[in-house]
Chain A
């Protein structure tokens, strides 16, 4: 049950983040942070297909995480979901066409190792 939930959390997190990032890139840089303008940005984003799908995957990830927290420690639950880091970076490079240079790969590697160590 524990590892099944971890799998669900990781898979849906990757899906949600890639779709969310894709829609935000398509929208372009948010420049005006006044509440009214932000509300308009959000209203405009609300109907985007991939964003709706992203929210769906986020909800799955969230409820699976909540369930995991009822019997697992926070110090297990948070680090174990870091498996999504490397997968997401690969997806960012291949699907979102981001320029992932050496420094980013090294940084992601360090963070993933560090998060795994936190779980020990």
Chain B
């Protein structure tokens, strides 16, 4: 396994775990808010400082930073499908912690996502060469 390949998969794993567990903590926290938030920003700011929402936000900050690192060499059209394996992790978390039933159509969905992830995972992570990068830089 090449240096870039190993780095890509380590970062991908981090991105996937922090997003799945971040969303879980956020969801748990938001469902257990004592009041309806409405549209006032004050309620949301208060909600951020409740424990589960805070854990969720912290994990999602790590998610954002690791994803930025990954995007510095990998394509957006590579990162998106490959990190979507996190949806599968979310479904498993939903089953374990929210006791959600997983129907046959959901299992089918999970298999399609796994297949799509594997397919895109076989492609080269970065396809924009230095010249293209400069071209993009000039255009904006």
Contact = CB atoms under 8 A, between A and B. Distances in A.
Interface of A: 17-18, 20-22, 24-30, 33, 38, 42, 45, 50, 58, 62-63, 66-67, 69-70, 74-75, 78-79, 82, 85, 88-89, 91-93, 96-101, 103-104, 106-111, 113-118, 120
Interface of B: 23-24, 26-27, 30-31, 33, 36-37, 44, 47, 60, 64-65, 68-69, 71-73, 75-81, 84, 87, 90-91, 94, 98, 100, 103, 105-106, 108-120, 122-123, 127-128, 132-133, 135-137, 140
Contact of A120 (B31, B47, B76, B103): B103
Given A25-B128, A75-B94, A111-B112, A30 B73 contact: yes
Given A74-B24, A85-B80, A114-B87, 6 more contacts: A70-B37, A107-B116, A107-B117, A111-B117, A114-B110, A114-B114
Nearest to B83: A111
B76 A110 contact: no
A74 B76 contact: no
A23 B119 CA distance: 27
B81 A108 contact: yes
A21 B71 CA distance: 6
A92 B84 contact: no
A30 B69 contact: yes
A114 B111 contact: yes
Contact of A110 (B30, B69, B80, B116): B116
Nearest to A28: B72
A118 B133 contact: no
A101 B123 contact: yes
6 A-B pairs with the lowest CB-CB distances in the bound complex, closest first: A117-B109, A114-B112, A110-B116, A107-B120, A114-B113, A111-B116
B90 to A, nearest CB: 6
Nearest to A77: B27
11 contacts: A20-B71, A24-B72, A25-B133, A26-B137, A30-B69, A58-B64, A67-B37, A92-B76, A98-B76, A114-B110, A115-B109
A79 B108 CA distance: 14
